[in-house]
Amino acid sequence: MNKNQIEKIIPIFSAAFALIYIVSVEVNWAPFTYHPKIGQWGWLTEPARDGPPMYWYGWLVTSTLGAAVASVLALPLLKNRPTQYWLGWTIPLVVMISVFYLFRGFFLR
């Protein structure tokens, strides 16, 4: 993969990661759950065992894999197009605003 292809994939990866992450958090798509108090891992989303579970690691894996697939699928479509730098920061900015809105109860306590 040459530098030009990477420059075209990074904005797609960033945008796809941000969008998939917000969906993963909202729908709780985690391939595994970590229970920090007892130091155990479980498959998919599990309810609390002894203390609160952590789904964040699973959300990151889901988002990374989804964004990688989206980037690879988009590469043939982007071969002859110029690099779109705005896509790499506009969509993550919209997603950050969405996260603040979804967790407004936490931030406005």
- In sign, the C-alpha dihedral spanning 10, 13, 16, 21 is negative
Rounded Cα distance, 92 and 89, in Å: 5
Nearest to 66, CA basis, from 25, 33, 96 = 25
Q: What is the pLDDT of residues 87-108, one digit of tens each?
A: 667 777 887 888 888 888 887 7
Q: What is the pLDDT of residues 33-74, one digit of tens each?
A: 989 888 888 898 888 888 888 888 899 999 999 999 999 898
Q: Is 82 left (phi over 0), alpha (psi -120 to 50) or beta?
A: beta
Q: 78 near 8, Cβ under 8 Å?
A: yes
